[in-house]
């Protein structure tokens, strides 16, 4: 079972997720945060007096799911219902100001828009005020599902996720061959039908099954009971600091540990996890990889204040920080590397060598290095220095400096050691390391591989690894800058 996303797999997944369109439909609300200072107790009652300093408003509920999809590089089609009232007008204006969110919101009659106002001082919530005069009405815009790669239903039990909406979403998902994931409410999870994933938290799982959920064994029993009571394909339960647990129909439970992070505010963490799950599955990731991305994203967002979002850059930074020690331990100076390679050779291990800039790691790089590692027992990757990259690629490159590139490459399970070279070619490294396999990309010919004759002279071989079509650093940079490719 996959236990962790290494840096390369994470970066490749985020690249695939970029530009995916995801339908985010459910209960929409306005989240307000009133921040201030407390310096005294009220003379009228034993309660703190909050002196308001600033107020922040943002889309909440399914609106926060959409914000997280957009922040992670996707396009969110936001479907929900608001009233024709000042809060509804404010909420739709906030949605319009969010890049990456397409508005499929229904405006109903005079029923009030749901507003949640949190009063915060010193990083602590003092109180939450909910304004829910009545349910705002049904959502019937089925065009929200058209042309999407995944469907997310965010149910806060306010009435939008109706039986009719669920049937429509299931029909659209089945016809389009796309996953549908539900963040549920209530006790009757069978009402969601044959969705791909239901994502309750531990408390919701306990409420739906009537079973304890404190230990792994109890979680396993509750998940088994819930799958037996529903037609869902899988259940993913979020367990706060304990991580997440996944159970597919007919398969044993898989437990994924949480990430140790300082928790500042858990508001909206479930929305972030739902967005990450849906975006990853829509991009073709396995459910295991999607769960790991959701854990990483939720772990980052709880370190922020308020109903927050996370970005791909923050996820990469979090993953680098998590594994920096192990990744950087692979970065080795040439003299030390020569000694290590000689020790490996005495053990009868086959040594592989490849080199390149590896500026922005993408899916093609990950596949290339995995194939290279399959041809040897130990793989050494030599990186061009920053000055060498500039000479090869021109000003503005590299995007990432040598230390950053080395940390990311070192984070790949397929890579055993990382070193650097500033010469025009890696011939000096090849002479000293004497690899058994010299690997370059299939865009080279055997005759064009620098050092190939040398490696073959001592009985080694030259192998050409295939590149994944449609993936290149130049194309990735153009996409990040809003260009073609």
pLDDT per residue over 11-70, tens digit each? 888 888 998 999 999 999 999 999 999 989 999 999 999 999 999 999 999 999 999 999
Distance of CA 136 to the CA centre of its chain: 32
Residue 116 confidence (pLDDT) above 50: yes
Residue 251 to residues 224, 293, 328, 386: CA-CA distances in angstroms? Answer: 10, 21, 37, 48
Burial of 445 (0-12, 13-18, 19+ CB in 10 A): exposed
Residue 265 confidence (pLDDT) above 70: no
Residue with tokens 């799911």: 65
Average pLDDT score over the chain: 88
Residue 300 confidence (pLDDT) above 70: yes
Top mean-pLDDT range of 110-119, 166-175, 400-409? 166-175
What pLDDT score does 247 carry? 96
The answer to whether 436 is a known catalytic residue is: no
Rg for the chain, CA atoms, rounded: 26
Q: What's the CA gap between 360 and 479, in Å, rounded?
A: 12
pLDDT per residue over 448-458, tens digit each? 899 999 999 99
408 — pLDDT class (breaks 50, 70, 90):
confident
What pLDDT score does 484 carry? 38
pLDDT per residue over 88-101, tens digit each? 999 999 999 999 99
Q: Are strands 180-183 and 197-198 parallel, antiparallel or unpaired?
A: parallel
Q: What's the CA gap between 369 and 448, in Å, rounded?
A: 20
Q: How many residues are given for the chain?
A: 485
Q: What's the CA gap between 50 and 402, in Å, rounded?
A: 49
Residues in contact with 224: Cβ distance below 8 Å, sequence separation at least 6, in sequence order? 247, 253
Q: Which of 131-135, 151-155, 307-311, 383-387 has the lowest mean pLDDT?
A: 131-135
Q: What's the CA gap between 329 and 350, in Å, rounded?
A: 21
What pLDDT score does 426 carry? 93
What pLDDT score does 134 carry? 62
pLDDT per residue over 19-36, tens digit each? 899 999 999 999 999 999
Angle ∠(158,162,166) on CA atoms, nearest 5: 130
What DSSP assignment string belongs to 325-360? HHHHHTB--HHHHHHHHHHHHHTTPPEEEEEE---S
User: What percent of the chain shows pLDDT beyond 90?
Assistant: 61
Cis, bond preceding 312 (omega within 30 deg of 0): no
Active-site residue, from 31, 271, 359, 416: 271
Residue 484 to residues 169, 378, 421, 478, 480: CA-CA distances in angstroms? Answer: 32, 37, 32, 6, 9
Q: What's the CA gap between 454 and 473, in Å, rounded?
A: 29
Task: Calculate mean pLDDT across residues 429-442.
Answer: 94
Residues in contact with 40: Cβ distance below 8 Å, sequence separation at least 6, in sequence order? 48, 49
Q: Which of 1-5, 160-164, 289-293, 415-419 has the lowest mean pLDDT?
A: 1-5
């Amino acid at each position: 079972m996959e236990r962790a996303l290494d840096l390369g797999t994470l970066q490749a997944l985020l690249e695939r997720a970029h530009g995916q369109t995801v339908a985010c439909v459910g209960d929409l609300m306005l989240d307000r945060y009133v921040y201030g200072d407390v310096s005294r107790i009220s003379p009228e009652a034993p309660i703190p007096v909050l002196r308001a300093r600033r107020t922040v408003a943002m889309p909440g509920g399914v609106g926060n799911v959409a914000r997280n999809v957009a922040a992670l590089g996707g396009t969110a089609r936001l479907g929900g219902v608001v009233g024709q009232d000042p809060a509804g007008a404010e909420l739709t204006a906030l949605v319009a100001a969010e890049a990456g969110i397409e508005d499929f919101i229904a405006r109903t009659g005079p029923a009030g828009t749901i507003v949640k106002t949190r009063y915060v001082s010193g990083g602590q919530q003092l109180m939450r005020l909910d304004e829910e005069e009545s349910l705002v009405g049904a959502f019937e815009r089925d065009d929200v599902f058209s042309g999407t790669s995944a469907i997310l239903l965010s149910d806060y039990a306010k009435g939008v996720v109706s039986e009719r909406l669920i049937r429509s979403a299931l029909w659209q998902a089945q016809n389009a061959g796309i996953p549908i994931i539900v963040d549920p409410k209530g006790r009757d999870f069978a009402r969601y039908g044959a969705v791909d994933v239901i994502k309750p938290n531990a408390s919701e799982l306990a409420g739906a099954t009537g079973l304890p959920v404190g230990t792994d064994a109890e979680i396993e029993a509750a998940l088994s009971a819930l799958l037996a009571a529903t037609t869902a394909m899988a259940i993913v339960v979020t367990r706060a600091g304990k991580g997440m647990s996944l159970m597919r129909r007919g398969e044993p439970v898989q437990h994924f540990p949480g990430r140790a992070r300082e928790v500042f505010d858990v508001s909206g963490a479930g929305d972030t996890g739902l967005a990450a799950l849906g975006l990853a599955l829509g991009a073709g990731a396995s459910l295991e990889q999607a769960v790991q991305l959701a854990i990483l994203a939720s772990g980052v967002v709880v370190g922020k204040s308020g109903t927050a979002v996370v970005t791909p850059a923050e996820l990469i930074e979090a993953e680098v920080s998590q594994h920096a020690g192990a990744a950087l331990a692979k970065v080795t100076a040439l003299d030390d590397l020569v000694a290590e390679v000689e020790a490996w050779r005495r053990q009868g291990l086959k040594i592989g060598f490849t080199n390149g800039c590896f500026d922005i790691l993408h899916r093609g790089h990950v596949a290339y290095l995995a194939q290279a590692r399959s041809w040897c027992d130990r793989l050494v990757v030599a990186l061009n220095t920053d000055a060498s990259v500039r000479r090869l690629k021109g000003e503005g490159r590299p995007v990432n400096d040598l230390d950053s590139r080395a940390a990311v490459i070192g984070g790949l399970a397929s890579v055993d050691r990382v070193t650097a070279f500033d010469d025009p070619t890696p011939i000096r490294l090849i002479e000293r390391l004497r690899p058994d396999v010299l690997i370059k990309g299939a865009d080279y010919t055997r005759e064009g591989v620098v050092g190939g004759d040398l490696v073959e002279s001592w009985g080694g071989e030259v192998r050409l690894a295939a590149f994944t079509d449609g993936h290149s650093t130049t194309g990735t940079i153009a996409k990040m800058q809003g260009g073609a490719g």
